Amino acid sequence: MSNKCAICGKGRVVGGSITRRGLAKKQGGIGTHVVKNNKRVFHPNIQSVRALVDGRVTRIKACTACIRSGKVVKP
- Give per-residue pLDDT as tens, 19-35: 999 999 999 999 999 99
Nearest of 17, 73, 22, 65 to residue 45 by alpha carbon: 65
Read off φ and ψ for residue 68, nearest 5 degrees: -70, -35
Entry field: residues in the chain: 75
pTM above 0.85, yes or no: no
Q: Is the pLDDT of residue 70 over 70?
A: yes
Please return the burial class of 70, using the count of CB atoms within 10 Å of its CB with bins 0-12, 13-18 and 19+: exposed
